Amino acid sequence: MTEEFWPTLFVFVLASFIGLGVVRRVSRLLHTPLMSLTNAISAIAVVGAIAVAGRDYPVELRVMGVVALFASMTNIISGFLLTDRMLRMFKTGKKTDRGEA
Amino acid sequence: MYGLTEGAYIVATSLFIFALHWMNAPQTARRGVYAGVAGTALAIGVTWIQPGIVHHWWIIGAIVAGAIVGIPLAMVPLTAVPQRTALSHCFGGLAAGLVGTAEFYLWFFHEPHRLTTFHVSAIVCEIILGYLTFTGSLLAAGKLQEIKWIPQRPVTYAGQNLVNFVLLGTAVALAVAIAIHPTAAWAPYVFPVIIVLSLLFGILLIIPIGGADMPTVIAILNSYAGLAAVAMGFALDNKLLVTAGALDGSSGLILAIIMCKAMNRSFTNVLFGAFGQAKQATASGEEKVYKAETPEGAAQVLEQAESVVIIPGYGMAVAQAQHKVRELYDQLKKRGVSVRFAIHPVAGRMPGHMNVLLAEADIPYDALVEMEEINPDMPQVDVALVVGANDVVNPAARTDPGGPIYGMPIIDADKARTVLAIKRSKNPGFAGIDNELYFSDRTWMLFGDAKGVIGDLVKQLSGDSAGG
């Protein structure tokens, strides 16, 4: 079991470097949408919550899983919707194309 | 099944990386949202079809409830986005904490072979980070929402840092003990103690933090929420959780670093050096005088300018003045005046807050200029119009070595030929210090609610154009 530690740590370090590299180049204009997008992405904890809520575990544990699943789904849904809503507002001055909402 | 799951997780991770990558420009950013949605949907789908998952109605119920709460949360006014963001960090922390708790008790009573020191270390990290993010973010959201019984001003007391360190130290010591003896009979009783200590620590960590530090704190809590997901990934041997959490954690870290640099402060200083306690500005002997200006006079000054720089701050958000600012922008543009917006990184209550508000008011993003870019131009600018900003234009940052904001990079509004400053009252800003800018002989004050004052300016300007 413990040998899982090293490969997982390896993945964590690499992913952190990718994250730092990618986020550093995000436009400062978009830091608020960035934060709501990463909120939604890190709500991937939903994967753990589904595993707890959906398996045949004792009921009190499943209740914890359901609450966790609810919290994560709230973040996923509101995070992606809000990010998109904010991004739709960013327009250039070149041509005001206010075609479809 | 194993191959399918891991394969789907790799695809989901790639989609998340693309999602962040596309955020580097406004033109591609919406594609990033679609990539994120696709990655999340894939991950949920493949987890749901695992053979052990049998209680589908529980899952559906929780998803529906999440949608019922999540959709209204996405529709909040943009001035409320900082508290919505804090609230979502709070939910993220809660989810991580609960999953960690459930896993621990499940393993202890039903699958003791999984209780290795490694897995339990990951679980205790997960619950400490998760629960402290839960209460800390909840309190931050309450402060931002200005809920009555939550103190807005920093709350400090003697020995505060000592209490915090003892609390966290105890939680960590108990966590280490559990990690070393995960199967001990006392473990299930010590575990809730760690939970309670973490919940308490989250509250005590945020209590001493004031409004001006919120952008940094929100970014740090963002990072913690990500790291809690990483710890969950270690506990469950799930690499998707590790990668997605690491992306979130590094994003929060970078934003926090940018915010700290923009205030010339360190993390530890933000978290443990309560800003509001900085000694009050040295009360100067002579009574300083403001020069007040009327909207008519200010409108004339603006009309005769060739270049205007508008410097928005949190006061603009409070007054919901961004739409009036847009009307002013239109009026000036119509007269051929060059209008730009100077955005300080910590203006507002979260990273990028001003940009979103101005974008909401339909101001094109190419008119929004970062502090470093606009400062060299400031001496050539005819009029600097300060709308509800205070500390980010305070020259004390350059001139007063003893002051609480000394060394903080500021927008050089004082170097413009004329300064017009809109201010609701004569009270000092969040840092609790006077602003020399307002007493400068180039500065004219417009007292009043930002929305009302700018509305008056617009009326003056449009009246002129109708008459002439």
Contact A34 B23 (CB under 8 A): yes
Q: Residue B328's closest CA among B426, B243, B450, B214?
A: B450
Residue spans of the domains in chain B: they are 76-276, 295-467
Residue among B40, B31, B339, B321 nearest A88 (CA): B31
CB-CB neighbors (< 8 A) of B118 in chain A: 1-2, 4-5
CA torsion B376→B380→B381→B384, rounded to 10°? Answer: 60
**Partner residue opposite B17 with nearest CB, options A22, A69, A74:** A22
What is the separation of C-alpha B400 from the centre of its chain, rounded to a whole number of angstroms?
28
Closest CA to B263 of B308, B227, B211: B211
Domain B295-467 fold: Rossmann fold (3.40.50)
Q: Which of A11, A45, A90 sits opposite B99 (nearest CB)?
A: A45
B-chain residues near A18 (CB < 8 A): 17, 246-247
Nearest CA in chain A to B229: A45
Please indicate whether, in this complex, the C-beta atoms of B248 and A16 are within 8 angstroms of each other.
no
| Cross-chain Cβ contact B248/A38 below 8 Å | yes
Tell me how far apart the alpha carbons of residues B340 and B385 are, in angstroms, rounded to a whole number.
10
For residue B29, the model assigns a pLDDT of 94
**Helix, strand, coil % (nearest 5) of chain A?**
80, 0, 20
- A71 CB neighbours in chain B (<8 A) are 66, 91-92, 94-95, 98
First to last CA, chain A: 52
Place of tokens 């619950």: B127
Where do we find the tokens 């300060």? B386
Nearest residue of A to residue B369, measured between CA atoms: A29
> Do residues B305 and B382 lie in contact, with contact meaning Cβ atoms separated by under 8 Å?
yes
CB–CB of B145/B83 below 8 Å? yes
Chain A residues closer than 8 Å to B20 by CB: 19, 22-23, 26, 34, 37-38, 41
How many CB pairs (< 8 A) connect A and B?
375
| Shortest alpha-carbon distance between residue A29 and chain B (Å) | 6
Q: Which residue ranges in chain B fall short of pLDDT 50?
A: 275-285, 467-468
Among the partner-chain residues B44, B70, B356, the one whose CB lies closest to the CB of A32 is B356
pLDDT, position B289: 74
Closest CA to B198 of B217, B218, B220, B172: B172
What's the distance, CA B324 to chain centroid?
25
A94 phi and psi angles, rounded to 5 deg: -55, -55
When computed from its CA atoms, the radius of gyration of chain A, rounded to whole angstroms, is 19
Give the three-state DSSP class for B418: strand
Partner B contacted by A64 (CB < 8 A): yes
Residues of A in contact with B370 (CB under 8 A): 28
Residue to test with chain B: of A28, A31, A80, A88, most B Cβ within 10 A: A31
pLDDT of residue B120: 93
Q: What are the beta bridge partners of residue B446?
A: B422
User: Nearest to residue B382, comparing CAs of B291, B292, B303, B462?
Assistant: B303
Three-class SS state of B176: helix
Collapsed DSSP state (helix, strand, coil) of residue B150:
coil
Query: Which residue in chain A has the smallest CA separation from B220?
Result: A35
Residue pair B131/B199 in contact (Cβ under 8 Å)? The answer is yes
Q: Let me know the angle formed at the C-alpha of B101 by A6 and B60, rounded to the nearest 5 degrees.
A: 100
What is residue B430's predicted lDDT score, i.e. its pLDDT? Answer: 52
Give the Cβ contact number of residue B112 at 10 Å. 10
Phi, psi of B443 (to 5 degrees): -100, 135
Mind listing the pLDDT tens digit for each residue in A58-80?
Answer: 999 999 999 999 999 999 999 99
Per CB-CB distance under 8 Å, the chain B contacts of A42 are 92, 225-226, 229, 244-245, 247-249
B40/A43 CB distance under 8 A: yes
State whether residue A3 sits within 8 Å of chain B by CB. no
Q: What is the DSSP letter of B288?
A: P
Q: What's the angle, vertex CA B85, arms to CA B84 and CA B88, rounded to 5?
A: 90
Cβ contacts of A97 on chain B, cutoff 8 Å: none
User: Please, is A45 exposed, middle or buried when counting C-beta atoms within 10 Å of its C-beta (0-12, 13-18, 19+)?
Assistant: buried
Please indicate whether, in this complex, the C-beta atoms of A16 and B249 are within 8 angstroms of each other.
Answer: yes
* Chain A: closest CA distance from residue B102 (Å): 5
> If you average pLDDT over residues A4-18, what whole number do you get?
93
Cα–Cα distance, B416 to B395 (Å, whole number): 13
Catalytic residues of B: 391
CB contact under 8 A, A33 and B114: no
E strands in A9-69: none
Q: pTM of the entire structure?
A: 0.90
